[in-house]
Chain A
Amino acid sequence: SAVISQKPSRDICQRGTSLTIQCQVDSQVTMMFWYRQQPGQSLTLIATANQGSEATYESGFVIDKFPISRPNLTFSTLTVSNMSPEDSSIYLCSALTGTNSGNTIYFGEGSWLTVV
């Protein structure tokens, strides 16, 4: 298994500002992902965080709005830039562990952002 720590766990942010969320995994993992969960909704994948290279973004998400870093195999950051109230969501970091036959994806506890 993997223990994933995120910070901040919660924050209230002013419109137009940017916030960086940090994600730390307690072991080396092959893949890390960032998801968004808007209020009352399911989870939507933002991007795959690639170690040492640019993240791979899903349709509807762009690097200018959600820059991502992954400097090593256990750490990643997601920045939510120029925030608006529509960005109020839970942002979840996740990591893939295991082998091809037994892979499991674990999640951090999420970062609950409210934009005012």
Chain B
Amino acid sequence: GNSVTQMEGPVTLSEEAFLTINCTYTATGYPSLFWYVQYPGEGLQLLLKATKADDKGSNKGFEATYRKETTSFHLEKGSVQVSDSAVYFCALSDRGSARQLTFGSGTQLTVLP
């Protein structure tokens, strides 16, 4: 079956530090890959996505590249801000699973001023 493995948190960084949150996946087909973000007290928001190998998703300074050879979709940001403090979820959608999402466990990020 499908699975998503995320870097364990919590992650604490100082403002302007470089961020990497690792995500690897297992899927039977050719999934679409997503990063979702959940700010404190809020629901889930789509941050970025990639639908095929070598695609790069980007939004709000965050980037992730779909690497089929390493089955990875690591999230990166060059300079984090306090407002980036949230829980980040990596997820995949496999057409063979009726396109429902399989989520990673989530990574709590705290950015200190």
Contact = CB atoms under 8 A, between A and B. Distances in A.
Interface of A: 6, 31, 33, 35, 41-43, 45, 48, 56, 90, 92, 94, 96, 100-110
A35 B89 CA distance: 14
Interface string B2-39: 00000000000000000000000000000010101000
Interface stretch (B60-68, B69-77, B78-86, B101-109): B101-109
Interface secondary structure of A, over-half rule: strand
Considering residues B43, B51, B99, B101, which has the most beta carbons from chain A within 10 angstroms of its beta carbon?
A: B43
Interface residues of B, number: 22
Nearest to A99: B51
B42 A109 contact: yes
Contact of A48 (B93, B98, B104): B98
B59 interface: no
Considering residues A43, A90, A94, which has the most beta carbons from chain B within 10 angstroms of its beta carbon?
A: A43
